[in-house]
A and B are shown apart, each in its own frame.
Chain A
Amino acid sequence: MSEQELITQLRMGEESAFRELVSLFQDKVFNTAIGFLQSRQDAEDIAQEVFIQVYHSIAGFRENASLSTWIYRITVTKGLDHARNKKRKKRFAFISNLFSESNQLLHESPDFNHPGVQYDRKEDAALLFRLVNELPETQKTAFILNKVDGLSYREIADIMKSSESAVDSLLQRAKQSLRKKINQQHL
C-alpha cells in the first residue's frame, strides 16, 4: 500500500490501515520516545499517545511533509513535553522534601540502560544518556535523532523544520558540550 493510499484509508477510518500504520511505525516511535524519556514505561505511554493523536488528527494532516516526518514531529514534541514535566515534578519533589518534616531521602532515578546498546558499552552509554538530558532541547533532539534513531541530517532537518547546516551545527555543539561534561566527570 502506498503512503497516499494509507493516508486516504486512515481518513476513511479503516481499521486495517491504522493497524498497518502502527506496525510500520511502532518501533520508530517507541525508539525515539525511549531516547527522550529513558524509561520503557514512559516510552510506551508516549508511543500510544502519538498513535492516538495520529488517529484523531490525520484529517488535518496537510501533507506538506511525509507521513514519517509528521509522526516523528509528534513524537519529538510529546517526548520533550513529557521530559519537561518529569523534570518539573522532580524539582517540585525536591523543594517539598526540603520543607517536609519526614527527612525522607530523595532517590535519584537509576541510570538508564538502552536495550539496543552493546553489552560492553552499557556503562558508557548510561553516562552518555544521563548527560544528554542536560543538553538544551534542540541539541538533545538533534543528538537523539541522529545517534539513537540513526536519521540523516536531511531527515532531522525536515523534522526540526530547519536546515542541514543548522543540524550539523547543533550536533557539533552537542558533542562539544558532552565532551566537556564527560571531562568534568573525571575530575
Chain B
Amino acid sequence: MELHSEHSERTERVLSSLDGIQRAEPAPFFYTRLRARMKEGTPPQSSASVFQLRPALLAASLLLVLMLNIFFLVKPASKINTETQKPRLNGIQAFAESYNLDNTSALYE
C-alpha cells in the first residue's frame, strides 16, 4: 500500500517536472550564424538524403538477386544441358570428319 502511494507520488512528480519551465534560448549571435548560412546557400536538409536512399538501394539489390535466383531455378536444366552439349557434339563430329572417321568405318578392316 505504502509502495503504491510512493509510486504514484513519483509518477505525479515526474509528470509535473516541466511546470514552470523557462524558455530555452539559442546561443548568442544566432542571427549572424543564420545570415552566414544563408549566404553560403546551404540548402535546407533534403528529406531524401543519401542515408534514406540506402534502404531503397538495399531492397533493390536484394530484389535483383532474388529475381536472378528465380530465373535460374525456373529455367529448365535440360535446356541448359542441350545448349551446352550441342557445341560439344559438333566439335566431336568435326573432329571425326577431319580424320575421316565415321560410325560405319571399320578400323580393323
Contacts and interface: CB of A to CB of B under 8 A. Distances in A.
> Could you say which of B7, B44, B49 has the most chain A C-beta atoms within 10 Å of its C-beta?
B44
B14 A182 contact: yes
A147 interface: yes
A175 B19 CA distance: 14
A23 B37 CA distance: 17
Contacts of A51: 34
Contacts of B37: 48, 52
Interface in B2-57: 7, 10-11, 13-15, 17-18, 20-27, 30-31, 33-34, 37-38, 44-45, 47, 49, 51-52, 54-55
A23 B31 contact: yes
Interface string A8-34: 000000000001001100111011001
Interface size class for chain A?
Answer: 35 or more
Nearest to B25: A27
A104 interface: no
Contact of A22 (B14, B31, B51): B31
A53 B44 contact: yes
A150 B64 CA distance: 52
B51 A115 contact: no
A48 B34 contact: yes
Contacts of A127: 14, 17
A73 interface: no
A182 B10 contact: yes
Contacts of A52: 34, 37-38, 44
Contacts of B44: 49, 52-53
Contacts of A23: 31
A27 B38 contact: no
Contacts of B13: 124
5 cross-chain pairs, A with B, having the tightest CB-CB distances, nearest first:
A116-B22, A124-B17, A125-B17, A121-B17, A30-B26
Interface of A: 19, 22-23, 26-28, 30-31, 34, 40, 43-45, 47-49, 51-53, 55, 81-82, 85, 88-89, 92, 114-118, 121, 124-125, 127-128, 147-150, 175, 178-179, 182-183, 186
Interface of B: 7, 10-11, 13-15, 17-18, 20-27, 30-31, 33-34, 37-38, 44-45, 47, 49, 51-52, 54-55
